Chains A and B, each alone.
Chain A
Amino acid sequence: MSAIEILGLEKTYSIGFWRKRPKRALRPLHLTVEQGEIFGFLGPNGAGKTTTLKMLMGLVFPSGGSARILGMDMNDPRVKAQIGFLPEHPYFYDYLTARELLEYYGQLSGMPRKECRSKVEAVLRQVGLPDVSGLQLRKFSKGMLQRVGIAQAILHDPKVVFLDEPMSGLDPMGRREVRDLIQQLKNEGKTIFFSTHILSDAEALCDRVAIINLGELRGVGKVAELTANMHGKVELIWRGAAVPASIRALDAEAYVSGGTCRAVIKEEQQDRAIDALRRDGLPLVSLTPVRATLEDYFMQQLKPAEAPVEVTA
């Protein structure tokens, strides 16, 4: 049984006041996330990531398709007891203390009061907020609120955790801690589905990623598999005071620094570049293959359809 099966989920909004016209936020999406995976849902702002998550949480109703979580229909009330959700830019009842907020959420999740109290303390320790549990949330910084958000998502020991931009608003230390926390959740056997546009986080954490842009799925798979088929690049380093015109003509990214030149060119251009350096009598220092990154793949996926995806009535 998969943790999440998205079966053609789609969403079209009506926009305009008098003359309503359809605006497609998500084209039919098919996606499967296996149990125990850390799955990254990547895309630029406005790609449809949050819409997808909101549909899975029952906050927005899909225009078509369905989804199954842990083998149950996403609208099945039993599902909600087994999932945790951190919304993007979470905002909580700021008149409550962190402890009161978590106890409230714990009780809404059906946790017995006594168990809830002890779990609250443990989870606050886990997210690094043990000393401020009695402080009202209105006095919390953005990063602290994000941690409270993660705490409420994992409080009731869910099997699947959905995190919408979990690193948003965190400083580098905080991001590192959240990454460690996500890894820890995976080690506990949980499935983590998180959306982000910070690719380095996804690359460091995810077993698999999906890339979405303008409401359309552009690619899905393991990071290594996705980047393996990309045309490779090579880094060329030679001694010289300037980049010769013959290298510039290769559309290379070239830099000069203290008598050493560096250029990144396409793999198929390497012979032409070496010939050019020989002709100009410039000594080659090194030629190193550059591994394609998730960012390279991501940028490539965003290129083909830059025009807005609209549908006609």
Chain B
Amino acid sequence: MNNRIACIAANTFREAVRDRVLYNLIAFALLLTGAAVLVGQISIEIEKLVVINLGLTAVSLFGAVIAIFVGIGLVSKEIEKRTLYTVLSRPVRRWEFIVGKFFGLAGTLVVNTVFMAIGVFLALLYVAHRWQKPDGWVLVALYFIVLQFLIMTALALLFSSFSSPLMSAVFAFALFVIGSFAEDLRGFAAMAKGVTHWLASGAAYLIPNLSALNVISSVAHGEAVAGRLILYNTLYALLYTAMALSGAVLIFQHRNLK
């Protein structure tokens, strides 16, 4: 990473921290502590299942909300407040600014996820009194969640590069919801015929397949995740992120900053 990108990324991370984005960890800790204490009292034999399901779903939702709502402001806020003028009048290329912003928010989300993951493992220890080997798959589920964040951050940046914050939020949130049911959409496309088939297939392949990156339920049941799935998901997420980022760069490259 070149120095300017690293500099912009570090500043984006610092902005997120000082804007108290990481305060969501407090809400997450309270949620998880409450859940762990509660399931310990009311569940029999399924405490781990509940804690993993609840914990990872919370990690995913908290992170997605940050990716979307911080991501949509990454470019538009800089334009609106004109802080961008003093950045782009330096030897900083526009693509470097976008990529730096992406890495800054992605870094924030990774740090956030690491803290949340520690919380999930502590909750697991509390309800089960020890860690077991299948708990390691929780790490894979967390890795997939981070891949989801990369995609959502890149999409939020893409929308932010040409649209208002409100519309960007609507677009990004809609894609997050639809993407979470992408497998269902693909199933529908396979069954549909004629024009509907083509439209549904097109939409199914265009939207991010976030459901393929969701293995929360299976790891909660202690099931292993295939190495091939890890590889494919990694390649898919990186490719999708790169394409969304390229789109953001392409649009931003030609934008007049009035």
Contact = CB atoms under 8 A, between A and B. Distances in A.
A92 B90 contact: no
Interface in B90-106: 90-93
A84 B85 CA distance: 11
A90 B82 CA distance: 7
Contacts of B8: 108
Contacts of B83: 91-93
A167 interface: no
A132 to B, nearest CB: 18
B19 interface: yes
A90 B256 contact: no
Interface stretch (A39-47, A54-62, A117-125, A286-294): A54-62
Interface string B65-81: 00000000000000001
B254 interface: yes
B14 to A, nearest CB: 7
B226 interface: no
Interface residues of A, number: 33
A93 B11 contact: yes
Interface string A80-93: 11011101011111
Contact of B86 (A54, A60, A92): A92
Given A91-B83, A95-B14, A95-B18, A80 B256 contact: no
Contacts of A59: 84-85, 88-89, 256-257
Contacts of A100: 14
Contacts of A60: 256-258
Interface in A160-184: 162
A108 B4 contact: yes
Given A60-B256, A104-B7, A77 B93 contact: yes
A306 to B, nearest CB: 25
A152 interface: yes
A81 B91 contact: yes
A96 B7 CA distance: 14
Nearest to B92: A108
Given A61-B254, A107-B3, A77 B91 contact: yes
Contact of A109 (B82, B91, B257): B91
Interface string A117-139: 00000000000000000000000
B144 to A, nearest CB: 32
A108 B82 contact: no
Contact of A152 (B7, B81, B86, B256): B86
A109 B91 CA distance: 6
Contacts of B85: 54, 57, 59, 85, 87, 90
B223 interface: no
Given A57-B85, A95-B15, A108 B256 contact: no
Given A60-B256, A60-B257, A105 B86 contact: yes
Interface of A: 13, 54, 57-61, 77-78, 80-81, 83-85, 87, 89-93, 95-96, 100, 104-105, 107-110, 149, 152, 156, 162
Interface of B: 3-4, 7-8, 11, 14-15, 18-19, 81-93, 254, 256-258
**List of 6 A-B pairs having minimum Cβ-Cβ separation, nearest first:** A85-B89, A95-B18, A80-B91, A59-B257, A87-B85, A57-B89
Given A87-B86, A90-B86, A100-B14, 4 more contacts: A57-B85, A59-B256, A107-B3, A108-B92
24 contacts: A13-B258, A54-B85, A58-B89, A59-B85, A60-B256, A61-B256, A80-B89, A80-B91, A81-B90, A83-B89, A84-B89, A85-B86, A87-B86, A90-B85, A90-B86, A91-B83, A92-B83, A95-B18, A96-B11, A100-B14, A108-B7, A108-B87, A108-B90, A152-B86
